[in-house]
């Protein structure tokens, strides 16, 4: 018989929008529990070389503590939500065999929801993928997109009229983002898990969040964000990193191309980060069984209590 929900191991998850303070909470936990394993659920920190602009832990921190799924793939290499679920579940399973319970921490809502709920949905505002598909529509025509959908997801194509461009583009978006056909995703919704997840969402007030974001961007520039972005051109990585469309680098590439001033780029990074955080909060509020916490202290105390209880037992 399968284990009841009560017998499944509980895996804590710390999520929240960019600038909420997740890193500060994790750092405090690592001081208290230096052997803690942290699995990153950040779709940008997973890439090598993208350090300052993704607020990645320093090399010293990565060497000292037990981080997973950071610097995991190279820019341009495909890594989908399904890849994240597969990789993170394998890590969790391996750690549990050693009686180690990890913390999953990151702000990529699609990763978190896919892992926790077994459901993969496409955010409505994934503009980079949609724009590429709309460019294909203009240049190559609707038949090209429909033929492409027939190749990657014939079952879904059979349910869509060839002239329904909106549904065709959405189905292709889902495939490009997740690496799986929409028809298969629907069939796999609600897949049972061998774990239970206790999800904490750190969500400070809007004023505090926006202030955190502005100060974080200023800190990134002091830490050398512009120099890091320039180095991508010297490494021949600029085009691949442009395609990832990471806030911070995208705006600075425009500055380096003499399209905007540096002050405009900085203001755009802050503005786009604030807008992104707002979209993240909307995403998280749509998740089931998620605990919203306003302060870093509350999240820290809650998670600290979890690991203290593990030690006592």
Q: Once rounded to an integer, what is the mean pLDDT over residues 193-216? A: 93
Tally of CA atoms within 13 A in the half-sphere of 188 that contains its CB: 14
Say if residue 6's pLDDT is above 70. no
Mean of pLDDT values over 141-153: 92
pLDDT higher than threshold 60 for residue 197: yes
> 22 pLDDT exceeds 70?
yes
Would the pLDDT of 188 be above 60? no
Return the higher-pLDDT residue of 58 and 132.
Answer: 58
pLDDT of residue 120: 53
Domains and CATH numbers, the chain: 5-119+190-312 (3.40.50.300), 127-187 (1.10.20.140)
**pLDDT for 1 beyond 80:** no
pLDDT at 26 over 70: yes
Residue 143 burial (C-beta neighbours within 10 Å; 0-12, 13-18, 19+)? exposed
Summarize pLDDT for 233-273 with one digit per residue, the tens: 889 999 889 888 899 999 999 999 999 999 999 999 999 99
If one compares 118 and 271, the residue with the highest pLDDT of the two is 271
Residue 140 has pLDDT above 80, yes or no: yes
Mean pLDDT of 105-118: 89
Q: How much is the pLDDT for 3?
A: 44
Please state the rounded mean pLDDT for residues 31-47: 96
Residue 96 and residue 111: Cα distance in Å, rounded?
21
pLDDT above 50: residue 209: yes
Q: What is the mean pLDDT of residues 222-229?
A: 97
Mean pLDDT over residues 38-49, rounded?
A: 96
pLDDT at 113 over 90: no
Average pLDDT over the chain reads 89
Q: Is the pLDDT of residue 2 over 50?
A: no
| The predicted structure's pLDDT at residue 182 | 79
Asked whether the predicted pLDDT for residue 191 surpasses 60, the reply is no
Residues in Cβ contact with 137 at an 8 Å cutoff, skipping those fewer than 6 apart: 144, 145, 165, 169
Enter the pTM of the model.
Answer: 0.79
pLDDT in tens, 53-74: 999 999 999 999 999 999 999 9
């Amino acid at each position: 018989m399968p284990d009841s929900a009560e017998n499944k191991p509980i895996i804590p998850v710390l999520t929240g929008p960019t600038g909420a303070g997740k890193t500060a909470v994790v750092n405090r936990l690592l001081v208290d529990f230096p052997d803690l394993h942290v699995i990153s659920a950040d779709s940008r920190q997973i890439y090598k070389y993208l350090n300052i602009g993704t607020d990645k832990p320093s090399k010293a921190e990565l060497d000292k503590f037990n981080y997973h799924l950071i610097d995991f793939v190279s820019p341009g290499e495909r890594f989908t939500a399904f890849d994240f679920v597969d990789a993170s579940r394998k890590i969790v399973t391996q750690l549990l065999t050693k009686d180690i319970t990890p913390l999953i921490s990151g702000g990529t809502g699609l990763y978190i929801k896919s892992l926790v709920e077994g459901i993969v949905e496409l955010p409505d505002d994934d503009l980079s993928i949609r724009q590429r598909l709309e460019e294909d529509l203009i240049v190559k025509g609707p038949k090209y997109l429909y033929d492409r959908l027939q190749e990657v997801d014939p079952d879904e194509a059979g349910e869509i009229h060839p002239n329904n461009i909106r549904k065709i583009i959405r189905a292709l978006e889902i495939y490009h983002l997740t690496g799986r056909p929409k028809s298969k995703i629907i069939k796999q919704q609600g897949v049972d898990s061998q774990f239970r997840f206790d999800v904490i969402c750190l969500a400070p007030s809007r004023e505090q969040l926006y202030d955190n974001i502005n100060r974080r961007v200023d800190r990134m520039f002091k830490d050398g964000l512009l120099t890091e972005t320039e180095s991508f051109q010297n490494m021949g990585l600029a085009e691949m990193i442009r395609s990832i469309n990471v806030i911070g680098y995208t705006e600075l590439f425009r500055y380096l191309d003499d399209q905007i001033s540096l002050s405009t780029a900085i203001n755009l990074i802050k503005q786009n980060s604030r807008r992104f955080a707002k979209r993240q909060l909307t995403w998280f509020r749509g998740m089931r069984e998620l605990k919203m916490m306003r302060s870093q202290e509350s999240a820290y105390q809650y998670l600290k209590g979890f690991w203290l209880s593990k030690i006592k037992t």
